[in-house]
């Protein structure tokens, strides 16, 4: 309970961050309850009711196939969460071990971190596109491709934070104590990584939304039959003058989600140990 | 003496960049081999005749060890031979060169917006910390950092092209065509869309580093001298804060390149970014490889330039 | 010369302003070196910043009291405003020479920047004057070092540059806030010697802030001891060292190693200095004092003279020299 309240403090202090948290919870609930709360089947077409403006029956209007935009936006939240979770999971599962091992075993670490730096020589979307070309299109591959991009930043942050912790631990305990690697990792490095990585996770989640939307929009992400926000934008692009509201809702959802995640990340960063704040100031973004 | 320090730094930094480029080139070379299928057919397309495949295989040295293949490829690249496009049936380098004008102009104009919007407003925000001006600017910056570029682009098209009819919505004829520089109006909306998230980033960064520098001891020393507050701000705070901003420019550029790919697609601009997307959809692998190579090269070169400028402005900078 | 009268500096947070210093008063005569001693957090640095007109933020302000320079009130003037009205007689050097110089400006330029403001009327050539100042603070190769960046210089050299900057402002009074704390011991004494030398040569006064009684003994003519934002004792340096009367001053001395009495263990003062938010009523030192009685715990304290220029804020002053009354 104490732990929980200590995490809630920054949100209670900044009302805007609290709004971010509430919006996020809303998005998660919408995704989980999608089948229950959507008024229509997101895939059901209605040739007669195409491109309807928002009205009582269809709050967000209908698209060029007569599909209900509201229902599709709600189902889009599912994919957004899936992508976000997948990317964060992949980036953490790969980046954190790379960072920690590199600190614990400097010889291997030098090589690993050089490789990470090398990957950073490729601009993010270009790296993701290259991977898509190799792996092929699809949701899983989009997650992998974006995940690899954030693997690099996550490994970098883990590395710099862990390096700092290692130095501090040695100063405190003294090298003579023969601080062993296992003790160092489990007692000092890993527990102290939790907070900075939580902050990093919320930023990665936000950027994953934007990255996935870009891939979808380019036609290189989720298959077109899946109602994702990016796909919806790509499809409605042709109807921009006839049905501008079609652009609004999915785009607004992307902004709302990413913005909320940024707010939450900022709030979490403010409660973070000031030693780690600098590391996370810029490096969270590739 | 100082120049010597700088020259020595510049040489080492350039060397490091060359090593990175060489290492990156290995990955880019491997790219073709990582694509499922026989590399010759990947490069020639499925319609290739066995004779063509045979010829290319010989040129690439596919029967030789992979290391030799890499060097064969690298030598060709250094001579400007990036292969031949499957779709255009023309040298890859020529096709990339065709898109260069659009992309470089787009990036250049965007950077002008980013600097003109991000830095002054960031400064204003920092000097008026906590006021309504600051809160509005910071809030908008955070919002724009969360907005997909293509969404901004689509709305700019809707408002300024479709509704108001002030500006063209797509395409870009070269400035060397009829109308000359007036053709830059085609790049106005795309550059604004592309500038939005990047200006937001630079704004936040400028603000944060101004506030950080303002707390430093040497600012107090400057005040103690009795110089004017505006002189403290310009000579001491701004100069040091700008260092952090300059250092971050390379990193902004990475984001800008990524977003340019999307922006060029939204506005149907004949640039390198759209070329790479279309090439992916067309499975024109030699072009994809070529574009990645050129962009990485450009990116590393500009980053090198940024680091050198940074070292020139900040004498403390050393290599890691 | 410089007179600080009932200076109260407060942090304005919430409803209740917290006092960092409470009615601090002292005077510095021409050519005098006044040492202000106290633990960190006792308000000595804030006092010096208030004297300079350099309080760090809007939330920290002079609540009451005055700072007078030759009789003119300079309390609420920032350094640049003081230049405008011709009252820029106070300069300051800081604790951290490492961070107190602009890292991307050549040191010569940083000195000249001050000269351009303070030598505006007397028409001295800033370039020549800079070299003169560098010679004055004993920086070898002045012409060469002018072009150095701060990170190319040692800590001691940087503090000399800081002093040169302070001197460029043509001060009547130099405020030195722990200028040697961050330096090596050998460099420390060089800087102390330099300060004394400059006082003699330029006949300026010095307000020297430190936590180190040893430094005070070397340098100061007179001493103020501060505790929890108040001056608790002030005396001539010899008076204070031979005959301290406030129990806190006694406590400070018993923390000092005395080479003559090596066998005796050092006696730290029990307890800790009070936090800003709960300074006890009455004598702030009462909870840690061996001589405390009921009278100490409330009301105002007497400010009693013990000899000429020797005063202390205590109900139970210890007379009879050091080591007494333990």
How does residue B218 score in pLDDT terms, banded at 50, 70 and 90? very high
Average pLDDT on A71-75 reads 84
All residues at 6 or more sequence positions from A145 whose CB lies less than 8 Å from its CB, including other chains: A127, A128, A129, A131, A132, A135, A215
CB contact under 8 A, B218 and C103: yes
Residues of B in contact with A237 (CB under 8 A): 154, 266
CB contact under 8 A, B316 and C151: yes
For residue B25, the model assigns a pLDDT of: 92
CB contact under 8 A, A218 and B265: yes
Q: Are strands C230-236 and C310-313 parallel, antiparallel or unpaired?
A: antiparallel
CB contact under 8 A, C165 and B221: yes
How many whole angstroms separate alpha carbon C322 and alpha carbon A107? 60
Beta carbons of C107 and C146 less than 8 angstroms apart:
yes
How many whole angstroms separate alpha carbon A160 and alpha carbon A279? 7
CB contact under 8 A, B150 and A247: no
B226 in contact with chain C, both atoms CB, cutoff 8 A? yes
CB contact under 8 A, A254 and B151: yes
The more confident residue out of C121 and C11 is: C11
Superfamily for domain range B92-313: MetI-like (1.10.3720.10)
Average pLDDT, chain B: 86
In this structure, what token pair is assigned to residue A114? Answer: 């050089």
CB contact under 8 A, C102 and B222: yes
Distance from CA of B129 to the nearest CA of C (A): 12
In this structure, what token pair is assigned to residue A220? Answer: 């290189």
Residues of A in contact with B254 (CB under 8 A): 123-124, 286
Distances, alpha carbon B133 to alpha carbons B116, B121, B130, B196, C273, in Å: 17, 9, 8, 18, 42
How many whole angstroms separate alpha carbon A77 and alpha carbon A32? 9
Residue A281 has pLDDT above 60, yes or no: no
Residue C5 has pLDDT above 70, yes or no: yes
Size of interface A-B (CB pairs under 8 A): 133
For residue B81, the model assigns a pLDDT of: 85
pLDDT, tens digit, 9 for 90 and up, residues A87-142:
999 999 999 999 988 888 888 888 888 899 898 888 888 899 999 988 888 899 99
Can you name the residues that pair with B89 across neighbouring β-strands?
A: none
Name the A residues in 179-238 with CB < 8 Å from any B CB.
206, 210, 213-214, 217-220, 233, 237
Residues of B in contact with A258 (CB under 8 A): 146-147
- Chains adjacent to B (≥3 CB pairs closer than 8 angstroms): A, C
Query: How far is residue A88 CA from its own chain's centroid?
Result: 6
Can you name the residues that pair with A68 across neighbouring β-strands?
A: A62
B193 in contact with chain A, both atoms CB, cutoff 8 A? no
For residue B172, the model assigns a pLDDT of: 80
For residue A284, the model assigns a pLDDT of: 41
Nearest to B146 among A117, A125, A262 (CB): A262
pLDDT, tens digit, 9 for 90 and up, residues B145-157:
888 888 889 888 8
For residue C326, the model assigns a pLDDT of: 41
Distances, alpha carbon B263 to alpha carbons A55, B150, B195, B248, B271, in Å: 32, 6, 10, 22, 10
Residues of B in contact with A141 (CB under 8 A): none
What DSSP string runs through C210-265? Answer: ES-HHHHHHH-SEEEEEETTEEEEEEEHHHHHH---SHHHHHHHHTS--GGGTTSP
Provide the residue ranges of all domains of chain B, joining segments of one domain with +.
21-78, 92-313
- Chains adjacent to A (≥3 CB pairs closer than 8 angstroms): B
The more confident residue out of B24 and B171 is: B24
Beta carbons of B16 and B319 less than 8 angstroms apart:
yes
For residue C263, the model assigns a pLDDT of: 61
Residue A283 has pLDDT above 50, yes or no: no
Quick check: do A and C touch, 3+ CB pairs under 8 A? no
- Chains adjacent to C (≥3 CB pairs closer than 8 angstroms): B
Average pLDDT on C298-316 reads 85
How does residue B314 score in pLDDT terms, banded at 50, 70 and 90? confident
Residue B58 has pLDDT above 60, yes or no: yes
For residue C225, the model assigns a pLDDT of: 92
A85 in contact with chain B, both atoms CB, cutoff 8 A? no
How many whole angstroms separate alpha carbon C130 and alpha carbon A135? 67
Residue C292 has pLDDT above 90, yes or no: no
How many whole angstroms separate alpha carbon B9 and alpha carbon B4? 8
CB contact under 8 A, A123 and B254: yes
For residue A277, the model assigns a pLDDT of: 61
Domains observed in chain A: 86-275 (1.10.3720.10)
Beta carbons of C9 and C50 less than 8 angstroms apart:
yes
Nearest to A285 among B255, B277, B281 (CB): B255
C122 exposed, middle or buried (CB, 10 Å; 0-12, 13-18, 19+)? exposed
Average pLDDT on C24-28 reads 92
Angle in degrees, CA B120, B121, B125, rounded to 5: 120
Domains observed in chain C: 2-220 (3.40.50.300), 244-313 (no CATH)
Which of B223, B224, B228 should we substitute to test contact with C (largest number of C Cβ atoms within 10 Å)?
A: B224
Residue C50 has pLDDT above 60, yes or no: yes
For residue A7, the model assigns a pLDDT of: 62
How many whole angstroms separate alpha carbon A69 and alpha carbon A72? 5
For residue C109, the model assigns a pLDDT of: 92
Q: Report pTM.
A: 0.82
Q: Which residue of B has its CA nearest to C170?
A: B225
How many whole angstroms separate alpha carbon C235 and alpha carbon C197? 23
For residue A38, the model assigns a pLDDT of: 75
Angle in degrees, CA C214, C190, C4, rounded to 5: 60
pLDDT, tens digit, 9 for 90 and up, residues A202-247:
889 988 988 898 998 888 888 888 888 888 888 888 888 887 888 8
Residue B61 has pLDDT above 90, yes or no: no
A65 exposed, middle or buried (CB, 10 Å; 0-12, 13-18, 19+)? middle
């Amino acid at each position: 309970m104490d732990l929980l309240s200590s995490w809630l403090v920054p949100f209670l202090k900044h009302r805007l961050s609290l709004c971010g948290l509430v919006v996020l919870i809303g998005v998660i609930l919408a995704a989980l309850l999608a089948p229950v709360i959507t008024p229509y089947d997101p895939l059901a077409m209605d040739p007669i009711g195409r491109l309807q403006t928002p009205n009582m029956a269809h709050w967000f209007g209908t698209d060029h196939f007569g599909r209900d935009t509201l229902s599709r936006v709600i189902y889009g939240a599912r994919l957004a969460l899936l992508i976000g979770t997948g990317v964060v999971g992949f980036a953490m599962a790969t980046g954190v071990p790379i960072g920690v091992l590199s600190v614990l075993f400097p010889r291997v670490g030098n090589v690993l971190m050089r490789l990470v730096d090398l990957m950073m020589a490729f601009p993010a979307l270009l790296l993701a596109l290259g991977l898509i070309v190799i792996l092929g299109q699809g949701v899983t591959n989009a997650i992998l491709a974006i995940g690899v991009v954030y693997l690099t930043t996550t490994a970098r942050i883990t590395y710099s934070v862990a390096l700092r912790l290692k130095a501090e631990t040695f100063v405190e305990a003294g090298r003579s104590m023969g601080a062993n690697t296992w003790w160092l990792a489990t007692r000092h490095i890993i527990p102290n990584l939790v907070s900075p990585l939580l902050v990093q996770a919320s930023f990665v989640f936000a950027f994953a939304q934007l990255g996935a939307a870009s891939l979808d929009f380019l036609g290189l992400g989720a298959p077109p039959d899946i109602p994702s926000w990016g796909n919806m934008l790509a499809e409605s692009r042709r109807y921009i003058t006839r049905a501008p509201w079609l652009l609004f809702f999915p785009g607004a959802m992307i902004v709302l989600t990413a913005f909320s995640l940024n707010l939450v990340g900022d709030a979490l960063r403010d409660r973070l140990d000031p030693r780690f704040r600098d590391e996370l100031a810029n490096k969270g973004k590739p | 003496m100082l120049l010597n320090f700088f020259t020595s730094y510049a040489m080492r930094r350039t060397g490091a960049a060359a090593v990175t480029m060489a290492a990156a080139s290995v990955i880019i070379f491997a790219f073709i081999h990582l694509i499922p299928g026989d590399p010759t057919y990947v490069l020639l397309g499925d319609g290739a005749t066995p004779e063509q495949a045979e010829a290319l295989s010989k040129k690439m040295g596919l029967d030789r060890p992979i290391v030799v293949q890499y060097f064969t490829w690298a030598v060709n690249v250094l001579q400007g031979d990036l292969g031949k496009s499957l779709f255009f049936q023309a040298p890859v380098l020529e096709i990339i060169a065709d898109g260069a004008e659009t992309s470089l102009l787009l990036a250049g104009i965007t950077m002008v917006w980013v600097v003109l919007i991000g830095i002054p407003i960031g400064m204003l925000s920092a000097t008026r910390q906590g006021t309504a001006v600051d809160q509005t600017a910071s809030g908008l910056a955070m919002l724009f950092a969360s907005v997909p570029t293509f969404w901004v682009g689509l709305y700019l098209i809707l408002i300024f092209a479709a509704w108001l009819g002030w500006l063209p919505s797509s395409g870009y004829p070269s400035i060397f065509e009829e109308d000359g520089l007036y053709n830059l109006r085609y790049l106005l909306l795309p550059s604004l869309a592309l500038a939005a998230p990047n200006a937001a980033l630079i704004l936040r960064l400028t603000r944060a580093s101004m506030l950080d520098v303002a707390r430093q001891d040497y600012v107090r020393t400057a005040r103690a001298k009795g110089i004017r507050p505006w002189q403290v701000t310009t000579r001491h705070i701004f100069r040091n804060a700008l260092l952090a901003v300059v250092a971050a420019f390379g990193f902004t550029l990475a984001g800008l390149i990524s977003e340019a790919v999307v922006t060029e697609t939204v506005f149907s601009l004949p640039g390198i970014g759209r070329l790479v997307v279309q090439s992916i959809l067309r499975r024109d692998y030699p072009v994809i490889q070529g574009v990645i190579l050129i962009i990485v090269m450009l990116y590393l070169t500009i980053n090198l330039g940024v680091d050198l400028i940074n070292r020139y402005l900040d004498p403390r900078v050393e290599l890691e | 010369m410089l007179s600080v009268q009932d200076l109260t500096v407060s942090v304005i947070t919430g409803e209740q302003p917290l006092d960092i210093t409470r009615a601090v008063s002292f005077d510095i005569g021409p050519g005098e070196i006044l040492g202000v001693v106290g633990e960190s957090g006792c308000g000595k640095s804030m006092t010096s910043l208030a004297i300079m007109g350099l309080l760090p933020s809007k939330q920290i302000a002079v609540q009451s009291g005055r700072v007078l320079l030759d009789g003119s009130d300079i309390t609420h003037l920032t350094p640049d405003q003081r230049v405008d009205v011709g009252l820029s007689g106070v300069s300051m050097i800081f604790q951290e020479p490492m961070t107190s110089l602009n890292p991307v400006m050549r040191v010569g330029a940083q000195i000249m920047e001050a000269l351009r403001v303070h030598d505006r009327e007397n028409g001295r050539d800033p370039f020549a004057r800079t070299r003169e100042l560098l010679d004055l603070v004993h920086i070898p190769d002045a012409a060469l070092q002018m072009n150095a960046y701060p990170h190319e210089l040692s800590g001691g050299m940087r503090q000399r540059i800081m002093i040169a900057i302070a001197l460029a402002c043509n001060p009547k009074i130099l405020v030195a806030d722990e200028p040697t704390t961050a330096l090596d011991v050998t460099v420390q004494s060089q800087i102390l010697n330099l300060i004394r030398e400059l006082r003699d040569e330029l006949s300026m006064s010095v307000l020297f802030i430190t936590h180190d009684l040893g430094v005070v003994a070397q340098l100061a003519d007179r001493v103020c001891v501060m505790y929890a934002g108040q001056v608790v004792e002030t005396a001539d340096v010899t008076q204070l060292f031979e005959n301290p009367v406030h129990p806190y001053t006694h406590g400070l001395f018993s923390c000092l190693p005395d080479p003559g009495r090596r066998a005796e263990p050092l006696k730290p003062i029990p307890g800790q200095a009070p936090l800003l938010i709960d300074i006890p009523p009455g004598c702030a030192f009462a909870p840690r004092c061996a001589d405390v009685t009921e009278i100490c715990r409330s009301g105002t304290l007497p400010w009693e003279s013990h000899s000429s220029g020797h005063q202390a804020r205590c109900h139970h002053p210890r007379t009879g020299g050091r080591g007494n009354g333990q």
